[in-house]
Each structure stands twice: as structure tokens, then as C-alpha cells.
Amino acid sequence: MKQKTIFSEQCNWCKTELILNGKEADSYVVNAEHKHFCKIHTPGKEPEKDCMTEYVKDCKNKISIIPKPNTIYKSPFWS
């Protein structure tokens, strides 16, 4: 009997162990930054667990420290 290699990764959001191939494979999503996120979803219904949407919402809520170009930046030093 030939051995099969099973690949596993960790979800970058909830740190759950994901099996990427084989009969017992978990459903997952990979974004452009090559980060793995778990997604438990039944077709036709809302996902029970979707770590990627939570990750994107968290990234959007963070305040950018670097000012955008062509904007006036007022330093606390000069006020």
C-alpha cells in the first residue's frame, strides 16, 4: 500500500489545524497574501464560520498611521 502525504496548515485567524488534501480535507480559503482561512459553509445558507471575512473586517477597522498622499498633515509639534 502506497503512503499518501497529507498537507496541513493552520488557520491564520483562529489557529485551527486545517487538512488541505485527502478524504478528510477541511474547507478553506487562501487569499492573495497566501494566508489560509477556514470556512465552514453549507450551500444556500450563511456560513457558520468564515474567518476570512472576519480578517478583512478587522483590517478595515484599523486606523492607518501613514497619511494619504495629497492631504494636509498637521504635526503635533507645530500646534
Question: In 3D, which of 51, 44, 46, 6 has the Cα closest to residue 27?
Answer: 51
pTM above 0.85, yes or no: no
Note whether 27 and 41 are within 8 A (CB). Answer: yes
**Choice between 71 and 37, residue whose per-residue pLDDT is larger:** 37
Mean pLDDT along residues 33-51: 91
Domain boundaries along the sequence of the chain: 8-61
Question: In 3D, which of 47, 39, 46, 45 has the Cα closest to residue 18?
Answer: 39
Mean pLDDT along residues 47-68: 83
- Average pLDDT, rounded, for the chain: 84
All residues at 6 or more sequence positions from 16 whose CB lies less than 8 Å from its CB, including other chains: 10, 38
Mean pLDDT along residues 25-49: 91
Q: How far apart are CA 40 and CA 46, in angstroms?
A: 10
